[in-house]
Amino acid sequence: MTCAVLAAVGAVTLSLAGCGDEKVDGGAGSGGKDKGAVGAASEKPARPVAGTVWEIQSVTAAGGKELKAEPVRGKPATLEIKGDQASLRVCNGAGSAVKVGPDSVDFDGNWMSTKMACGGTADRLESTLHKVLKGKLEIAGDGNELTLKGTGGDVVRFTAAG
């Protein structure tokens, strides 16, 4: 079976660790590069997208600069999906409806949020996340890392908490 078939059949929690052995040029011993490099589209995080607390590492809005997440009041910015609800915590708490598929996460993007002013980077991070976490985002990852990618170039990077 190919990696594409395994990904289509498997759930989000399926680890495709055994699919990185194929060579780009197909020639055994010919020096081809491993297609299983971190960030390859066929890879999925080892942990389930739903039910895991994901610490936000950075967010990049299409055409923008990467914004690194910093702890707010000593706590990391997080995303957690339970069932059909997503919870986002940066400075404020926010929630949105969401659907998780085998290869994507679809946020309705109507984030309901408290409105506490946080200042500086926390405000920019929160505002950018509310804009980027809308619509269907592609799931990629490796091990305890998760990346959500939008079609316009939006990217959010996470690591599993704990």
CB 156 within 8 A of CB 59: yes
Tell me whether residue 146 is in a domain: yes
14 within some domain: no
Query: What are the residues whose beta carbons fall under 8 Å from the beta carbon of 36, sequence distance 6 or more?
Result: 19, 20, 21, 22, 42, 43
In a domain, 48, yes or no: no
Question: pLDDT digits over 99-119, tens only?
Answer: 999 999 999 989 999 999 888
Give DSSP secondary structure letters for 117-145.
---HHHHHHHHHHHHHSSEEEEEEEEBTE
**86 within a domain of the structure (yes/no):** yes
CB 54 within 8 Å of CB 153: no
| Residue from 95, 99, 48, 91 nearest 73 by CA | 91
- pLDDT on residue 7: 32
- Given a cut of 50, is residue 69 above it in pLDDT? yes
**CA 99 to centroid of chain Cα atoms:** 14
Rounded to an integer, the average pLDDT of 55-74 is 93
Burial class (CB in 10 A: 0-12, 13-18, 19+), 64: middle
Q: What total of structural domains would you count in the chain?
A: 1
B/e letters for 100-114, b = 16+ CB within 10 Å, e = fewer, are beebbbebeeebebe
Tell me if 25 is assigned to some domain. Answer: no
Sorting pLDDT into bands at 50, 70 and 90, what band is 16?
Answer: very low
Q: Which helix (H) or strand (E) covers residue 59, if one does?
A: strand 53-60
Q: Is residue 95 part of a domain?
A: yes
What length does the chain have?
A: 162
10 touches 42 (CB < 8 A): no
- State the pLDDT at residue 20: 34
Structural domain of 148: 53-160
Q: What's the rounded mean pLDDT across residues 41-50?
A: 82
Would residue 109 count as lying in a domain?
A: yes
Examine residue 142 and state whether it is found in any structural domain, yes or no.
yes
Tens of pLDDT, residues 115-159: 998 888 899 999 999 999 999 999 999 999 999 999 889 999 999
Chain-wide mean pLDDT for the chain? 78
What CATH number has the domain bearing residue 126?
2.40.128.270
